[in-house]
Structure 1
């Protein structure tokens, strides 16, 4: 495992816990006290972490030479140039056939090491644009929790690191073993859906079409044909289509569908409306239409989304 400046402590901790020494409670599940791997945490000491404290008890970077697996946790500023010695060590490990595992933004380090060309890879959804710009020859699978591309494995946001680590354990030691580690972590061995259900749009950039976009937001529950919107914008349909894509990057129909899904997500999280009521309030017209669009843009179903993000009563509560 490689620790770099600004390494996310949670990523590192998840990997050390998954692959390192077993906690004493594991003996209640399996009589296997020995860790399944010999692990070493490497870096250019002293190294500041994302939480401000410094790690100094690190093995030298070249310790990864000959390693079967190299794990690169995420870091605070993944676009920053990394030390050439670190990148050279990662590249050598790849050339020697080591399995490379990036957690969260660790994919940027693999990209800088030049090992991602033509590879399927994922990273945190909020870094997708920066990743594509930096490594256009990599095949970014933006909304996956994790991706297995053979020698290269990668995960999305920080807690998706646990998903990938459990997957690796299952590949190396069998699913039953990975399931038992997940029981200790009190984490599902496999989560349904992907990162799309966690994506949240930022503030909308302002532009010439801002008044039209505001109007669309106010009328999402209504039928919105191209002709209707063009008349509201005082443009021909052809001009609206061209300007809409230039300003938003989407077609009108896709933009409306995305906004309706966002509206439905907010209502699923915060309201007591039924799924059917939300479908009509958000402008889908039917629960089946909302379900189809949810699967397309959120990677899950409306009911599953509500179960995940609505929350429930605390376990100690009583009526």
Structure 2
């Protein structure tokens, strides 16, 4: 495991807990006194972490030479250039056939090491634009919780690190073993859906079409057609569609569907409307239409989304 300046302590802790020495409570589940791997935490000491304290008891970076697996946790400023010694060590490990595991923004380090050419990879959803710009040779799977591309495995943001670590354990030691580790973590060995359900909509583009976008937001609950919106914008349908794609990157229909899903997400989180009422309030017209678009843009169902993000009522305890 490689610790760099600004390393996310949570990512590192998850990896050490998943792959390192087992806590004593593990003996209640499985008789295994020895850890499943020999692990070492490497870096250029002293190294400040994301929480402000410094790690100094680190093995030298070249300790990863000959390692079977190299884990790169996320870090605070992943776009910052990394030390050449670190990147060269990662590249040599890749050439030697080591399995490379990036957690959260650790994918940026693999990109800087030049080992992602043609690889499918993911990272934190909020860093997708920066990652694409920095590493166009990689194939970003933006909303996946984790991606297995053979030699390179990567996870999305923060707690998706646990999903990937449990997946690695299942590949190395079997699903039953990974399930037992998940029982210690009190975390599911596999979560449905992806990062899309956690992503927040980005800022709306500002440009010549802003008045049209404002009008659309005010009328999302109403039936909207290309012809009707074009008339409102005083353009031909063809001109509107072309300018819409140029300014937003989406077709008019896709943009409307995304905004309706965004509105439905807000209503599912904050209102007491039923799912059917939310579908109509967001402009879908039916629960089936909302469910279809919700799965496309949020990666889950409206009911599952509400159960995940609505939270428990005050004073309520689940058993």
TM-score (norm 1): 0.98
1:121 correspondence with 2:121: yes
2:143 is matched with which residue?
Answer: 143
Residue aligned with 2:70, SS: strand
Residue in structure 2 matched with residue 131 of structure 1 by the alignment:
131
| Mean Cα deviation higher: 305-314 or 88-97 | 305-314
* Secondary structure of 1:227 counterpart: helix
Pairwise CA distance, 1:245: 1.2
The C-alpha deviation readout for 1:52-91, integer Å capped at 9, x for no partner, is: 1111000000000000000000011111111110000000
Q: CA deviation at 1:203?
A: 2.6
Deviation at 1:317, TM superposition (A): 5.2
Distance 1:66 1:259, change over 3 A: same
**Structure 1 equivalent of residue 168 of structure 2:** 168
Aligned to 1:270: 270
CA distance in 1, matches of 2:38, 2:19: 8
Structure-2 separation of matches of 1:154 and 1:203: 27
Q: Which 4+ residue blocks in structure 1 deviate beyond 4 angstroms?
A: 314-318
* 1:7 alignment counterpart: 7
Q: Quote the Cα distance in structure 1 between the aligned partners of 2:156 and 2:208.
A: 35
In 2: Cα distance, 1:170 partner to 1:288 partner: 36
Instruction: Please tell me whether residue 46 in structure 1 is matched to residue 46 in structure 2.
Output: yes
SS in 1 for 2:116: coil
Q: How far off is 1:293 after superposition? A: 0.3
Structure 2: how far apart are the matches of 1:264 and 1:29?
A: 42
Counterparts of 1:1-319 in structure 2, within 5 Å, are 1-313=1-313
Q: Distance in 2 between matches of 1:112 and 1:264?
A: 39
| 1:150-208 C-alpha deviation (Å, 9 max, x unpaired) | 11000000100000000001111111111111011010000000001111113323211
For residue 49 of structure 1, report the CA deviation from its aligned partner. Answer: 0.7
- Give me the whole-angstrom Cα distance separating, in 2, the residues matched to 1:288 and 1:83: 52
Pair 314,16 (structure 1): closer, same or farther in 2 beyond 3 Å:
farther
List gaps (5 residues or longer) in structure 2.
none
How many residue pairs get matched? 318
Gaps of 5+ in 1: none
Q: CA deviation at 1:300?
A: 0.6
Once the two structures are TM-superposed, the CA of residue 209 in structure 1 deviates from its matched residue by: 1.1
Q: Distance in 2 between matches of 1:209 and 1:150?
A: 44
Instruction: Please give the root-mean-square deviation of Cα atoms over the aligned residues, in Å.
Output: 1.2
